[in-house]
Amino acid sequence: MLAGWLFADLFLVLFMVALASVPAASLAAKPTPAKPTPAKPTPVRSTATRGHKAPRKSTASASPGMSNTPIDICVSQGSPSIVADFDTQVKHWGMAGRRVGFIISFATGTDPGTAVAKATEAFNLIKNTDPDRAALASAGGEGLWGGESNSCQVNGGTDNYHFQVFFYK
């Protein structure tokens, strides 16, 4: 009978040793944020060009690729032409003809399963039937449930599609 208690005590001791050997989270290395470097003033080249600064070299963007900020597009689920309404808003944002990297499509509704199916169907509809298929050819996407209402002002926030479109820069 005492052998069982001996093994239980041994287990507890080994467990405590294992817990003690795990390093604390505060000892982990934390990344330090990059500090901005001050810009150097552009010198004036000669007295003949006094008052005119030397031309600066243009540099490429520090973060090439897809934009980190999506364009929000809202379309009513009852719209007779979801693709046309989507294109109208893309043109409104000045993004017509630009390549799309990713589209997240949200559909509102009380049933999450039905809403996800509608959102996925809306994404596929836009990707496969939009007149500007070249811009959408390599776009990835996903349909998700947007809850029973969301931030879109179409239909008072209900029964709509909310697209978050990430364009390439």
Helix/strand/coil percent split, the chain, to 5:
35, 20, 45
Q: Helix 82-92 crosses helix 112-129 at what angle (to 10 degrees)?
A: 70
- Minimum mean pLDDT among 76-90, 95-109, 124-138, 152-166: which range? 152-166
Q: What is the 3-state secondary structure (H, E, C) of 11-79?
A: HHHHHHHHHHHCCCHHHCCCCCCCCCCCCCCCCCCCHHHCCCCCCCCCCCCCCCCECCCCEEEEEECCC
Domain ranges of the chain: 71-167
For residue 55, how many other CB atoms are within 10 A of its CB? 7
Looking at the domain covering 71-167, what would its CATH class be? alpha beta
User: What pTM, to 2 d.p., does this model score?
Assistant: 0.58
Higher pLDDT among residues 30 and 8, named by residue: 8
List, in sequence order, every residue forming a beta bridge with 72; answer none if it has no partner: 164
Higher pLDDT, 21 or 23: 21
Percentage above 90 pLDDT, the chain = 5
User: Which of the residue ranges 19-23, 51-55, 81-85, 147-151 would you say has the lowest mean pLDDT?
Assistant: 51-55
Strands 100-107 and 160-167: antiparallel
Who contacts 135 (Cβ-Cβ below 8 Å, separation ≥6)?
97, 98, 99, 100
